[in-house]
Copies of this chain bind each other. A is one copy, B any other.
Amino acid sequence: MKKLINNPKDFAKETIEGIIAAHPESLKLVNGSWHCVIRSDAGTKPGKVAIATGGGSGHLPVFLGYVGQGLADGVSVGNVFASPSAEAMHEVDKAINNGAGVLHLYGRYGGDIMNFGMASDLDEIENIKVTEVLVSDDVASAQKGNENKRRGVAGMLFAYKAAGAAAEKMLPLEEVTRIAQKTVDNTRTMGVALTSCTVPEVGTPTFAIADDEMEIGMGIHGEPGITRTKLQPIDKIVEKLTDKILTDLPFASDDTVAVIVNGLGATPKEELYIAYRKLKQILSSKNIKIHRKYIGEYATSLEMAGMSISILKLDEELLPLIDAKCYSPFFEQSR
């Protein structure tokens, strides 16, 4: 294992310590616990719906990087690829609640679902109104018709963006929740992995993959994908991914979309742009208009090599929410 770390056990904790040391004007801890990170101005905007997210470490900028203005208000942080506790989630909820209720917005993963469920129970005891939306954009993780079994991956960015902008507009909890759910319903993602990542405490790669192989649809913790084949030219890969995405929703001619070309960790930005080049050609040929694009690392798996493509179908309601300005130390949109 070749990593720039100290004791593997301290990986997640020291990451948060570094982040808080770097961005004290934007982020702070609840009760000094590294498991609970909130906006430095959280809980100070009466009437604004608060958005809580959370999940395992190792995916930066997911999840913590989407805590900021026009985004989420707080995050509970687990160890690498492991859910944070219900208690941490509950502490975050208490700290960010502005009296208008809390939306739990997170990716569909077993452990997270259970803990957010327990946290909701704890919230209710203290009369905090809670709703939840599970991001589930990964087309590869369940067949069409089983959308509600799909995992959440890079498309999370869209959900944070739209829900965060809606909350900033002072919409009520039901509306923010509806918009988050609608954004999730309109988002599809497909990815490809070239190499495994290594969980620091484990010390060995999560899975084995040959030097000339790739796996389409692999999950961001190394969950098995759809097919493992010989590595192909990126144009061919983008064709495959895009085809799956477009037929699943389905997207149609004259649609306006936002796209993410997301690097999983080790893939150079150059390659992401080569992928975008092809994606744009395909969408243009189908008369689908790219209104906004995000090309970079938006949801990672430590040092995994690979990438994913996400497409969000926009309408008059979602478009201005995606366009809205936002700021976090990890994700800034000023135009």
Contacts and interface: CB of A to CB of B under 8 A. Distances in A.
A179 B74 CA distance: 41
B58 A277 contact: no
Contact of A266 (B14, B233, B265): B265
B234 A269 contact: no
Chain A, interface size category, equals 35 or more
A9 to B, nearest CB: 12
A63 to B, nearest CB: 12
B280 A3 contact: no
A205 interface: no
A184 B182 CA distance: 50
A142 to B, nearest CB: 25
A60 B268 contact: yes
A332 interface: yes
Contact of A280 (B21, B272, B302, B332): B21
A57 interface: yes
Given A58-B270, A269-B60, A280 B14 contact: no
Given A2-B231, A307-B4, A334-B327, A269 B61 contact: yes
B233 A5 contact: yes
A271 B60 CA distance: 10
8 closest A-B pairs by beta carbon, nearest first, are A18-B273, A18-B277, A266-B266, A334-B334, A4-B271, A60-B269, A4-B234, A15-B270
